[in-house]
Amino acid sequence: MMPPPRVSRAALPAGLLLLAALTVVSLGVGDLWLEPARIWAGLWHHDELAATILWQIRLPRLLVAMLVGAALAASGLVMQAYFRNSLASPGLLGVSSGGAAGAVLAIGAGWVSHSILVLPAAAIVGALLATGAVLILARRGASTERLLLAGVALNALLGAVTNYVLSNFTLSYERNAQILFWLLGGLEDRTWEHATIALPILGAAALLWPLGRPMDLLSLGALEAQSLGVDVRRLRRWLLALATVLTALATAVAGTVGFVGLIVPHVLRLLVGPEHRRLVPLSLIGGAAFVVACDLLGRTAGGLRVGIVTSLVGGPFFLWMLRRQA
Amino acid sequence: MDAATPGVNALDLVGASVPDRLHEVSLALAPGTLVGLVGPNGSGKSTLLQIAAGLLPGGGSVRWGGRPLGEIPMIDRGREAAWVPQEAQFEFGFSVRSVVAQGRYAHGDDEHGVEEILSRLDLMGLANRPVNRLSGGERHRVLLARALATEAPLQLWDEPLAALDVRHALEVLVLAGEIKRDGRTLLLSLHDLRIAHCLDVVIVLHEGRLRAAGPPPAVLTPALLREVFGVRAEIAPGLVLKLP
* Residues ≥6 apart with Cβ < 8 Å to A143: A85
pLDDT at residue B2, as a whole number = 46
Q: Is the pLDDT of residue A139 over 90?
A: no
Tell me if B57 sits within 8 A of B21, measured CB to CB: no
Does position A171 have pLDDT exceeding 90, yes or no? no
Residue B167 lies in a domain: yes
Predicted confidence (pLDDT) at residue A24 exceeds the cutoff of 50? yes
- B184 belongs to a structural domain: yes
CA distance B138 to B88: 9
Per-residue pLDDT averaged across A226-254, rounded?
Answer: 92
Beta carbons of B83 and A231 less than 8 Å apart: no
The pLDDT score that the predictor gives to residue A83 is 86
CATH (domain of B222): 3.40.50.300
Per-residue model confidence (pLDDT) at position B27: 94
The pLDDT, as a whole number, for residue A69 is: 97
Contact B106 A213 (CB under 8 A): no
More reliable by pLDDT, A299 or B235: A299
**Shortest Cα distance, chain A CAs vs residue B78, angstroms:** 4
Stretch (H or E) spanning B11 = strand B11-18
Is the residue at B81 inside a domain?
yes
What is the rounded radius of gyration, in angstroms, for the C-alpha atoms of chain A?
20
Mean pLDDT of chain A: 89
Please indicate, yes or no, if residue B17 is contained in any of the structural domains. yes
State which residue of chain B sits closest to A325, comparing Cα positions.
Answer: B91
Select from B55, B94, B128 the Cβ nearest to the Cβ of A223: B55
pLDDT higher than threshold 80 for residue B146: yes
Nearest-neighbour CA in chain B from A97: distance (Å): 26
Q: What is the distance of C-alpha A12 from the center of its chain? A: 20
Q: How far is B84 from chain A (nearest CA, A)?
A: 8
CB distance B94–A274 less than 8 Å?
yes
What ipTM does the predicted assembly reach?
0.92
Residue B206 has phi, psi (to 5 degrees) of: -145, 120
How far apart (Å, rounded) are the C-alpha atoms in residues A43 and A195?
A: 17
Residues of B in contact with A217 (CB under 8 A): 102, 105
Inform me whether the pLDDT recorded for A2 exceeds 60: no
pLDDT at B106: 97
Higher pLDDT, A110 or B50: B50
**Average pLDDT of span B224-235:** 87
B93-119 confidence digits (pLDDT tens): 999 999 999 999 999 999 999 999 999
Residue B89 or residue B71, greater confidence: B71
Contact A229 B76 (CB under 8 A): yes
pLDDT for residue A168: 75
Domain that residue B217 falls in: 11-85+153-229
Task: Please state, in angstroms and rounded to a whole number, the distance separating the CA atoms of residues B122 and B99.
Answer: 15
H helices of A44-143, where? Answer: 48-52, 59-83, 90-93, 95-108, 118-137
Q: What is the pLDDT of residues A255-290, one digit of tens each?
A: 889 899 999 999 999 889 999 999 999 999 999 999
For residue B93, give the nearest of A85, A216, A274 by CB distance: A274
Structural domain tally of chain B? 1
Tell me whether residue B40 is in a domain: yes
Domains of chain A plus CATH, in order, are 88-208+224-256 (1.10.3470.10), 257-326 (no CATH)
Range B211-228 average pLDDT = 93
The predicted structure's pLDDT at residue B244: 43
How far is it, in rounded angstroms, from Cα A42 to Cα A54? 7
Amino acid A31: pLDDT: 87
Q: How many CB atoms lie within 10 A of CB A210?
A: 10
Average pLDDT over residues A87-96: 87
In a domain, B240, yes or no: no
d(CA B26, CA B213): 10
